[in-house]
Amino acid sequence: MIGLSISIGSGQNGGQRSGNRSLTLSGLIDGAARPGSASGITAAFSDGFPIQSLSWGMTPGGTEFGTGASPQDFSSADTGLFDAPGLLHVTARAAGRSYSLSVPIRTAPPVFITPPGFAAPLYKIGETVEVSLGTVDAAPATLTVASFTLDGEDRQGGLAGLAWSSAGETAWGRAGVLRLQARAESSGGVVLSAPVTARLGDVPRAFSAADWSVDETGVQIADLPDDGNVPITNIRYRIDGGPDRSVNGVTDFALADYGDIQIRAVNALGIGAWSDTKTRIAQTPTLSIEAAPLLAEVAAVEGNTLTATAGPVSGGPSSRTWQWYRGTAAISGATGESYMLQPADIGQRIKVRQIETPVGGSPVTRDSAASAAVVALNFRAEENDDGTVGVSYADGARSTVEFELTRPAAYAGSFNLDLGALETGPVCLVRPALSGTPEPGATLSAPPFFWVYPEALGALSVSSGWRRNGTVIADETGSTHKVISADAGTDLQYIETGTQSGAAAPVTAASPAVRIGDAAPTSYSPQTSTSALAWWDASDEATITHEAGTVSHFADKIGGAYLTGTGTTGVSASDVNGLNSILLDGIGNYFERSATTLFPADGDWVLTIVASIDEVNHINDALVSAINGDNTFAIVGFNASEFAGRLAVSGEAVSFDGGPYGGLHVFQVKADLTGQATATAYVDGIPVAFVPYSAAVDATTLRFFRSYVMGGRFCEAFLDRDLSSQAAAFAYAASKWGIS
């Protein structure tokens, strides 16, 4: 707006003119006067002639607004809309004449300070919509609704004051955009606000049949239903009318369950109706064995074991079984993944059938390629009357065979022979103990060892010798050794070396060591006892597999019942009576033989253990335990810090007399089931506990120094089926390990 000066004579707008004289007003804005005392309007004659008197009024010649050089206050009540009725009348007098003019009194057009608005951005059909008309910068001003529409259709007639009910919008699809515009009217003019909008919406419609489907993965969404003018945010589902479950998102989703499925859509205004039902049925997996099972590369020789490797399976989970075939005929009972070739298989080809069965489905099968025709083992043993037996058998045989030896008489009996061990050279089956007094001046004698060799690798040549503390003694080649003073305090062994031209390398075997200076050997030895079942001897370091002293494997000197576990060997500070032992740390070291029933089925046996008990950590620390069977056996410390001793056999238990039994001892158990039905515990040859014994021990896992883990030194242990061997076994162990 700009300031104006208006000159109006008597012939214009009610004023008068004398010559060129006219009445002028300065301080007007846009040709009008504004309300208020600071209107700043002044009157003057155009030719500068002085005004003798002046009046300002709301009527011609009136003085309501004063008679001074400028008008007094006139308020908004005096204003008019545009030019009427609010007028400012000015009358000036000079030289006996009157001059007058009039101009509008009005305000500026109003300006919206706060726009009109809705109480919320979103309404659900049926709710009442409340609006506000905003505020303007001038007063007084009249604010009214200029327009109120729904998607362009007039809804102003439905307004009750500043509220409108959408209850009448019942037809589906009436959801849309609400538009509001306000009108502000004052003496300065009329203005319209900028329009504002809100949404009128509804919950989503139900999914139609074409909008969705089910398959083996879950629910597939082809299209979303009408969203009621409010975006769908997620989908809910239920199965067989069960609980209502939510899915994040509005796309396909996986299902693990099957049954009658319904879905519905969700938006910010609520949840739509359930769709019709669609049934999802579990599909029966279509299994396929992608490749034939394979037979391990083992020669088809009677006694060998064929092992199958399954072909890969696709199409879902299944359970697997096997069936072996001799030619085209199924072999009765041959349903494992391995099969030992039998005499009935000779001349036949063997195959295996892999059978995969899905849950609730039919089996799928696939056969391996057939083996070569099975050949007979043709095992033959030739006794040479010199402690050697030459054997021959079909090429590729890897089975274990039992054969009877009738001569020489010292070794007559039944032997189990692993043909696989003969692949690279001869095997020494028996290494008798030395005889003679182990002191200088006496003579030690060694019976010949018993060797078995494969004739296919050539004739066997056996040479003999002696070792002192593990080192071969030069020029000692006979079966006897004259003990000299240099032998005192050392370990002597008789050795034999078997050589065949076709063998990978010569094989050396050694007798049990004899400490020179010890008492003469007793008449009992696990090596020569025909009733001994297993023997673990830490003094024979050759039977211990270790890496820099850390033990992993402990061989059975008379059988195949090797022990596995951990400990430390070759530590001279842990020697017992000058003999090597295995140190067990009381933290994690122990030995174990599993998956083997060592104890005789008739329940009669003697177990001898030479050990030093150096640390007890728990009441259940066990020197020995036999577990994993219906009838078990154990010797436990039965004290949290010392070895008090308790014998438990086949459900019965009794504590040791005497004790505690720390340090080095010979521990024995004589289990007499067939005679006395009693198990007796001995410490250093003295009975300390008697337990009723009614059922043979059938445990398949044998452990030493294991329960909560006990510390000490393992020296020797052996199991004998002869009950009469108890006293002799103690004498042997006590003499060897220096226990009085």
Q: What is the pLDDT of residue 19?
A: 60
Residue 16 pLDDT exceeds 50: no
Q: What is the pLDDT of residues 190-208, one digit of tens each?
A: 899 999 999 998 899 999 9
In the prediction, which pLDDT does 9 show?
A: 38
Q: What CATH number has the domain bearing residue 224? A: 2.60.40.10
Residue 691 lies in a domain: yes
Grade residue 1 by pLDDT with cuts at 50, 70 and 90: very low
The C-alpha atoms of residue 306 and residue 541 are separated, in whole angstroms, by 36
Q: Are 633 and 617 in contact (CB under 8 A)?
A: no
pLDDT tens track for 460-502? 999 999 999 999 999 889 999 988 878 888 999 999 999 999 9
Q: Which residue reads 């001799």 in tokens? A: 326
Instruction: Indicate whether 472 belongs to any domain.
Output: yes
**Residues 448 and 501 reside in one and the same domain:** yes
Predicted local distance difference test score (pLDDT) of residue 37 = 61
**374: in domain:** no
φ, ψ (nearest 5 deg) of residue 193 = -75, 165
Q: Which two tokens stand for residue 17?
A: 């003119």
Instruction: State residue 84's pLDDT score.
Output: 61
Rounded-to-integer distance, Cα 596 and Cα 346, Å: 31
List pLDDT tens digits, range 704-730.
Answer: 998 888 999 999 999 999 999 998 999
% the chain with pLDDT above 90:
64
pLDDT at 36: 72
Q: Is the pLDDT of residue 679 over 90?
A: yes
**Three-state SS across 150-186?**
ECCEECHHHEECCEEECCCCCCCCCCEEEEEEEEEEE
Phi then psi dihedrals of residue 335, to 5 deg: -125, 15
What is the CB-side half-sphere exposure of residue 213 using CA atoms within 13 A? 5
348-358 confidence digits (pLDDT tens): 999 999 999 98
Mean per-residue pLDDT of the chain? 89
SS3 733: helix
Do 664 and 730 fall into the same domain? yes
- Residue 7 confidence class, pLDDT cut points 50, 70, 90: very low
pLDDT of amino acid 237? 97
CATH number of the domain within which 346 lies: 2.60.40
Q: Residues 55, 72: contact at Cβ < 8 Å?
A: no
What is the pLDDT averaged over residues 600-610? 97
Could you tell me which residues are beta bridge partners of residue 499? 461
Domain edge (last residue) among 53, 86, 104: 104
- Considering the domain architecture, whether residues 400 and 434 belong to the same structural domain is answered as yes
Rounded CA separation 222/84 (Å): 68
Report, as an integer, the average pLDDT of 152-180: 86
**470 and 565 within one domain:** no
Whole-structure pTM over 0.75, yes or no? no
Q: Is residue 210 helix, strand or coil?
A: helix
pLDDT of residue 418 exceeding 90, the answer is no
Q: How many CA atoms lie within 13 A of 15 on its CB side?
A: 27
Can you give the pLDDT at residue 99?
A: 92
pLDDT at site 404: 79
pLDDT value at 675 more than 70: yes
Please name which of 501, 526, 592 lies closest in space to residue 729, comparing C-alpha atoms. Answer: 526
What average pLDDT does range 438-451 have in this prediction?
87
Find the domain containing 305 and state its range.
288-367
Phi-psi region of 499 (alpha: psi -120 to 50; beta: other; left: phi over 0): beta
In a domain? residue 520: no
Domain assignment present for residue 178? The answer is yes
Higher pLDDT, 231 or 740: 231
Shared-domain flag, residues 731 and 594: yes
User: Which band of pLDDT confidence, cut at 50, 70 and 90, is reported for residue 572?
Assistant: confident
Do 465 and 492 fall within a single domain? yes
Q: Which residue type sits at 479?
A: S
Residue 11: what pLDDT? 30
Dist. CA 71–CA 69, nearest whole Å: 7
Residues 712 and 587 in one domain: yes
Q: What's the full length of the chain, in residues?
A: 740
Contact 356, 287 (CB under 8 A): yes
Query: Could you give the C-alpha distances from 738 to 246, 514, 669, 681, 732, in angstroms and in order?
Result: 79, 13, 20, 21, 10
671: left (phi over 0), alpha (psi -120 to 50) or beta: beta
pLDDT at residue 81, as a whole number: 61
Verify that 18 and 80 share a domain, yes or no.
yes
For residue 273, the SS3 value is coil
pLDDT surpasses 70 at 606: yes
Bridge partners of 653, per DSSP, are 648
Phi then psi dihedrals of residue 334, to 5 deg:
-90, 80
Q: Which of 166, 201, 236 is the last residue of a domain?
A: 201
d(CA 656, CA 449): 42
Q: What share of the chain is helix, strand, coil (3-state, %, to 5)?
A: 5, 45, 50
Q: In this structure, what token pair is assigned to residue 27?
A: 């301080």
Bridge partners for 66 per DSSP: 56
pLDDT (0 to 100) of residue 172:
57
Last residue of a domain, one of 250, 280, 310: 280
Beta bridge partners of 245: 237
Q: What gap in Å lies between CA 320 and CA 129, rounded to an integer?
A: 69
pLDDT in tens, 509-560: 999 999 887 444 457 999 999 999 999 999 999 999 999 999 999 999 998 8
- How many Å apart are CA 131 and CA 115, to the nearest integer? 11
Closest CA to 655 of 608, 690, 697: 690
| Distance in angstroms (rounded) separating the CA atoms of residues 65 and 75 | 10
Q: Residue 225 is encoded by which pair of tokens? A: 């239903």
Clarify whether residues 607 and 672 are in a common domain.
Answer: yes
> What does DSSP assign to residue 696?
-
pLDDT for 207: 96
Distance between CA 733 and CA 722 in Å, rounded? 16
227 domain residue, yes or no: yes
Tokens 């301080």 sit at which residue?
27
**Domain-located, residue 524:** no
pLDDT score recorded for residue 14: 32
Burial class (CB in 10 A: 0-12, 13-18, 19+), 3: exposed
**pLDDT digits over 279-328, tens only?**
999 876 688 999 999 999 999 999 999 999 999 999 888 999 999 999 99
For residues 470 and 543, state if they share a domain: no
CATH number at residue 492: 2.60.40.2700
Residue 570 confidence (pLDDT): 87
CA 301 to chain centre: 45
Residue whose tokens read 């069965």: 357
Same domain, yes or no: 65 and 39: yes
**How many domains, the chain?**
6
The 10s digit of each residue's pLDDT in 216-243 is 899 999 999 999 889 999 999 999 999 9
Task: For residues 641 and 616, give the distance between their C-alpha atoms in angstroms, rounded to a whole number.
Answer: 5
Residues 443 and 312 in one domain: no
Please check whether residue 33 is in contact with residue 1, taking contact to mean a CB–CB distance below 8 angstroms: no
| Strand partners of residue 583 | 568, 713
pLDDT top residue among 14 and 98: 98
Judge whether 711 lies within some domain: yes
